[in-house]
Structure 1
């Protein structure tokens, strides 16, 4: 950033706070803000006094108790369905199909938001409905965020039921499928949960960089081949990234 004159005093305080949470060293904060050293020093002192920033014995800056308290209150009040709603509507409008957002609930997923598409048929799903993880696009997104140990716990606790002839019921095969999800950034349900239904999904990341939810689009197998469904991937991933950003995830912190 450059040119202090375009910022008000309040603007400068917020900018310094933002950069002080990201960077530890005074020199890094000065560089990131583009403000004069004296300006940054004065604002940092005020932020430290009010507890928004703390300083270590060796002079490193980090988030203070006031910032952490505010963050905690903000995260407690997050309504993912409300945050996802405009992105879900945009996705459904763009592709014309029904879109869902799902969350992990122990060893299953539940729909927490739905936006119907413009198709003449309706998808028999609803908010609050549960689904298997291993046979759905959203479920695979959520499973792709599991560690190896967490996956082992999942396999020992849940029977991989064959919902259709296409359902992956072998743990090793499912592990390979999840590797593919992590590699390409999206998941597929190729008539694995309901005959005649294909879905494509993408993971949603929270502020810590962990996969917290999944978003998916649903269409009839008669309408779209697997190859055609995969062509929707960039739009699905873009919607997932937009929701992730609104949840506080950064591109650096996302993993999957």
Structure 2
């Protein structure tokens, strides 16, 4: 497993990247990705939006499975992503929904905490 905390990669190859893309308008996705913005990707991003998390099933790295969700600000603009990655022998396909839901709930909690922080900060100014 070569993935490490903070490693950068292509938005369309990473679960957190796809989760971030799913939070954007399609026009913005097309502007960012250009020719990589396919109808297939459009449909996948809609599924991610509805589910709340994206799945990288060995796409970015052979033998590695990941789930990721977007962290947003108070305006629902993406600030970043949160993902969980593990070797497929420790993260079988039956675990995807459970871990995906947990990552999504955690990303929502972080987003909510950031919103509360922003509200306090602006209230005290």
TM range (shorter): 0.7 to 0.9
Partner residue in 2 for 1:149: 27
- Equivalenced residue count is 116
1:215 deviates by 0.4
- Report the Cα offset of residue 224 of structure 1: 2.2
Aligned-partner Cα distance in 2 for 1:182–1:124:
24
SS of corresponding position for 1:192: coil
TM-score normalized with structure 1 length: 0.42
Counterpart of 1:125? 4
State the partner residue of 2:75. 208
- CA deviations on 1:208-240 (whole Å, 9 max, x unpaired) are 122221100001112222232222122112211
Question: 3-state DSSP class of the match of 2:115?
Answer: coil
SS at match of 2:65: strand
1:139 aligns with 2:6: no
Question: Which whole-Å CA distance do the structure 1 matches of 2:3 and 2:15 have between them?
Answer: 16
CA gap 1:227/1:173 in 2 versus in 1, 3 angstroms: farther
Structure with larger RCO (C-alpha < 8 A, sep 6+): 2
Distance in 2, matches of 1:206 and 1:247, equals 7
Is the 1:155–1:171 contact (alpha carbons within 8 Å) kept by the matching residues of 2? Answer: no
Check 1:126–1:223 CA distance in 2 against 1; reply closer, same or farther (3 A cut).
closer
Deviations 1:66-110 (A, max 9, x none): xxxxxxxxxxxxxxxxxxxxxxxxxxxxxxxxxxxxxxxxxxxxx
Conserved in 2, the CA contact under 8 Å of 1:200 and 1:230?
no
Q: CA separation in 1, counterparts of 2:63 and 2:76?
A: 34
Q: 2: CA distance between counterparts of 1:182 and 1:243? A: 18
Q: Which has the larger radius of gyration?
A: 1
TM (norm. structure 2) is 0.82
Match of 1:174 among 38, 41, 44: 41
Q: How does 1:11-90 map to 2 (within 5 A)?
A: none
2:51 counterpart (157, 175, 184) = 184
**Deviant stretches of 4+, over 3 Å:** none
Separation of aligned partners in 1, 2:21 and 2:84: 18
Which has the larger share of helix? 2
Extract unaligned runs of 5+ from structure 2.
Answer: 117-125
